[in-house]
Amino acid sequence: MKTGLKLIVTLLFAAAITVPFAFRAPSNVSAEQPVPTPVTTQRTAPLRVKLECNSCHGAGSTLPKLGPGERFHRDAHREYEGSIHAKIQENGKPAAVCIDCHTVDGDMTTDFPPDDPRSTVYATKQEQTCGKCHQGEYDSFHLSIHGKLLDKGDTRAASCSDCHGRHTIQSSKTGDAAVMRVNIANVCIKCHSGIVPEWENSSHGIAFKRGDPKAPMCTDCHSAVSHHEAPADIREFSLLMVDTCSSCHQQQAPSYRDTFHGQATEFKYQLAATCADCHTPHHNLPASNPASSVHPANLIQTCATCHTGVNAGFVTFQPHPEPKNPEKGYMTYVVATFMKWLLLCVFGFFGVHTVLWLQRSIVAAIKGESHKRVRDEEEKWVLRFSRQHRLTHVAIIVSFLGLAATGLPLMYSFTDWGKWVVEMHGGLAVTRFIHRVCAIITFGYAGYHLWFVLKKAFVERDKRAFFGPETMMIRKQDFIDAFNMFRWFFYLGPRPKLDRFTYWEKFDYFAVFWGVPVIGISGLMLWFPTFFTRFLPGEALNIATIVHGEEALLATAFIFSFHFFHNHLRPENFPMDIVMFTGKVRLSWFKDERPVEYARLVEEGKLEDVLVPPPSKSFRAVARVFGFAAYITGLLLVMAIFVTLFTVKH
pLDDT(58) > 70: no
Q: Please state, in angstroms and rounded to a whole number, the distance separating the CA atoms of residues 346 and 88.
A: 76
DSSP 585: E
Q: Measured between alpha carbons, how far is 98 from 108 in angstroms, rounded to an integer?
A: 11
* Burial degree of 243 (CB within 10 A; 0-12, 13-18, 19+): exposed
Least confident of 63-77, 167-181, 503-517: 63-77
Contact 611, 560 (CB under 8 A): no
Residue ranges of domains in the chain, CATH in brackets: 73-224 (no CATH), 251-306 (no CATH), 328-647 (1.20.950.20)
The pairing of beta strand 584-586 with beta strand 381-383: antiparallel
Q: What are phi and psi of 279, to 5 degrees?
A: -100, 0
pLDDT of 63 strictly over 70: no
pLDDT at 354: 95
SS3 18: helix
Residues 6+ apart with CB under 8 A from 224: 143, 144, 145, 230, 231, 237
* Separation between Cα atoms, residue 615 and residue 620, nearest integer Å: 7
Q: Read off the pLDDT of each residue in 34-43 and give the average, rounded to a whole number.
A: 40
- Segment 144-164 shows an average pLDDT of 86
- pLDDT at 526 (0 to 100): 96
- Identify the pLDDT of residue 465: 84
CB atoms within 10 A of CB 450: 12
pLDDT at 29: 39
Between the CA of residue 635 and those of 102, 364, 436, 643, what are the distances in Å? 69, 26, 23, 12
- Say what the pLDDT of residue 1 is: 47
3-state secondary structure of 598: helix
- As a whole number of angstroms, the distance between CA 208 and CA 200 comes to 8
CA count, 13 A, side-chain hemisphere, 289: 11
Average pLDDT over residues 121-139: 87
Per-residue pLDDT at 587: 92
> What mean pLDDT comes out for the span 323-345?
93
Q: What is the mean pLDDT of residues 509-533?
A: 93
Q: CA 553, 556, 562, 566: dihedral to nearest 10 degrees?
A: 160
Instruction: Tell me the percentage of the chain whose pLDDT exceeds 70.
Output: 88
- Eight-state DSSP code of residue 79: H
Whole-number average pLDDT of the chain: 85
Q: What is the mean pLDDT of residues 91-118?
A: 85
Round to whole Å and give the CA distance between 167 and 170.
9
CA distance 380 to 573: 19
What is d(CA 585, CA 577) in angstroms, rounded to the nearest whole number? Answer: 9
Please state the pTM of the whole predicted model.
0.80
pLDDT attached to residue 38:
41
| Residue 473 predicted with pLDDT over 60 | yes
The four Cα atoms 635, 640, 645, 648 give a dihedral, to 10 degrees, of 170
pLDDT per position as a tens digit, 425-457:
999 999 999 999 999 999 999 999 999 999 988
CB atoms within 10 A of CB 385: 17
| Confidence band, pLDDT 50/70/90 cuts, at residue 71 | low
Weakest-pLDDT range from 53-67, 111-125, 533-547 = 53-67
For the stretch 220-235, pLDDT in tens is 888 877 788 888 788 8
Residue 47 exposed, middle or buried by CB count within 10 Å (0-12, 13-18, 19+): exposed
Evaluated on CA atoms 98, 101, 103, 107, the torsion sign reads: positive
Task: Return the pLDDT at 69.
Answer: 52
pLDDT of residue 56: 63
**Is 181 a residue whose pLDDT tops 90?**
no
Q: What is the CA radius of gyration of the chain?
A: 43
Between CA 425 and CA 87 the distance in angstroms is 59
Classified as helix, coil or strand, 162 is helix
pLDDT value of residue 428? 95
The pLDDT assigned to 14 comes to 45
pLDDT at 17: 41
pLDDT above 90 as % of the chain: 52
Least trusted range by pLDDT, from 222-236, 325-339, 340-354, 510-524: 222-236
pLDDT at 11: 45
Which tens digits make up the pLDDT trace of 382-429?
999 999 999 999 999 999 999 999 999 999 999 999 999 999 999 999
Residue 28 has pLDDT above 80, yes or no: no
- The residue ranking higher by pLDDT, 106 or 7, is 106
- Going by C-alpha positions, the residue among 318, 321, 319, 323 that lies closest to residue 340 is 323
Of 55-64, 77-86, 511-520, which gets the smallest average pLDDT?
A: 55-64
- Give me the pLDDT at residue 41, please: 40
pLDDT confidence band for 70 (50 / 70 / 90) = low
635-647: average pLDDT: 89
Q: Is the pLDDT of residue 18 over 70?
A: no
| Mean pLDDT for the stretch of residues 479-499 | 95
pLDDT reading at 292 higher than 70? yes
The answer to whether residue 35 scores a pLDDT higher than 50 is no
pLDDT interval class at 172 (50, 70, 90): confident
